[in-house]
């Protein structure tokens, strides 16, 4: 092999390496702004955060992310997917971002980039109105429902071991679990406290919250992929901080959750 050929091969190799590094360092926020839109996924059956009402997408997250998108200068495009398909879909780049409320856990933090908290996510039980549970510990020996693949399911499993045993039934959605509670087929179901409190407020003749919340205090956030999203996460956090300062965040909280709640400016480490 000649010196010329060897040098040429080396230069081609370096060029290829340069392209690889450039690709790896691609900034997702730049790509989103160039496209003029951000494609996001959520499950539109998670009131009060995501609701499909007469074919229209509404809820806390819709109002919040519409305002965030305005701050980013892009148009949001929303996709409705089953919860179990959302995080895997993010990883294989079927969409840009996840606006479903994702409960922060150390395991998820290793895999995904979290925004600052959008809401409290501490787990709570709900039972049929007039039910026998006076506190979460009364669920010992009872059957309690939870949505598959959620942090609330994991918290329920740990709580069941702690109090001496709970029969757990898994559901594809919280709505299905709530329906079985209302029909008397379940003693209780679990979800985050904002969801339970919203539902009980809407249907007090059917459901009753089991107070207090239990398990480790935690928060919901939005999530992105780990690589190339640092500026995107910062821009979204900056937008939420601006909304907290000018009162827009509080108005959305009051509209959908019923009260203003102070939240950390970054996701607390567990």
Q: What is the DSSP string of 100-112?
A: EEEEP-HHHHHHE
How many domains does one find in the chain?
Answer: 2
Domain identity same for 197 and 252: no
To the nearest whole percent, how much of the chain has pLDDT over 90?
84
Across residues 43-62, what is the average pLDDT?
95
- Check residue 12 and give its pLDDT: 44
Residue reference for tokens 């839109």: 37
Domain identity same for 103 and 225: yes
Look up the pTM and report it.
0.79
- Mean pLDDT in the chain? 90
Judge whether 162 lies within some domain. yes
Domain stop point among 199, 214, 229: 214
pLDDT digits (tens, 9 = 90+) for 32-45: 999 999 999 999 99
What is the sign of the dihedral through the CA atoms of 219, 221, 226 and 229?
Answer: negative
Judge whether 88 lies within some domain. yes
Confidence of residue 17 (pLDDT cuts 50, 70, 90): very low
Q: Distance of alpha carbon 155 from its chain centroid, rounded?
A: 16
Confidence of residue 217 (pLDDT cuts 50, 70, 90): confident
- 120-159 per-residue burial string, b: 16 or more CB within 10 A, e: under 16: bbbbbbbbbeebebeebebbeebebbbbebbbbbbbbeeb
Query: Range of 188's domain?
Result: 123-214
Residue 235 has pLDDT above 90, yes or no: yes
Confidence of residue 265 (pLDDT cuts 50, 70, 90): confident
Is residue 184 within 8 Å of residue 113, measured between CB atoms?
no
- 182-202 per-residue burial string, b: 16 or more CB within 10 A, e: under 16: beeebbbbbbbbbbbbbbbee
pLDDT digits (tens, 9 = 90+) for 195-213: 999 999 999 999 999 999 9
Cα separation, 24 vs 234, in Å, equals 19
């Amino acid at each position: 092999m000649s010196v010329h050929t060897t040098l040429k091969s080396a230069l081609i190799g370096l060029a290829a390496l340069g392209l690889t590094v450039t690709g790896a360092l691609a900034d997702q926020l730049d790509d989103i702004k160039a496209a003029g839109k951000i494609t996001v996924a959520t499950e539109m059956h998670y009131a009060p955060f995501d609701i499909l009402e007469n074919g229209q997408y509404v809820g806390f997250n819709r109002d919040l992310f519409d305002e965030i998108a305005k701050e980013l200068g892009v148009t949001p495009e929303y996709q409705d997917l089953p919860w179990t398909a959302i995080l895997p879909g993010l990883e294989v780049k079927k969409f840009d971002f996840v606006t479903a409320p994702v409960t922060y856990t150390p395991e998820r933090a290793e895999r995904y980039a979290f925004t600052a908290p959008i809401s409290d996510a501490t787990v709570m039980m709900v039972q049929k109105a007039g039910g026998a549970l006076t506190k979460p510990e009364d669920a010992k020996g009872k059957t309690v429902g939870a949505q598959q693949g959620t942090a609330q399911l994991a918290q329920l499993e740990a709580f069941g071991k702690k109090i001496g045993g709970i029969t757990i039934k898994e559901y594809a959605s919280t709505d299905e679990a709530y329906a079985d509670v209302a029909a008397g087929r379940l003693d209780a179901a679990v979800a985050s406290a904002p969801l339970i409190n919203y539902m009980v407020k809407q249907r007090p003749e059917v459901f009753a919250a089991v107070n207090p919340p239990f398990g480790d205090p935690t928060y919901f956030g939005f999530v992105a992929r780990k690589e190339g999203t640092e500026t995107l996460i910062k821009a979204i956090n900056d937008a939420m901080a601006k909304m907290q300062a000018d009162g827009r965040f509080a108005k959305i909280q009051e509209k959908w959750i019923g009260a203003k709640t102070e939240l950390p400016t970054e996701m607390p480490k567990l």
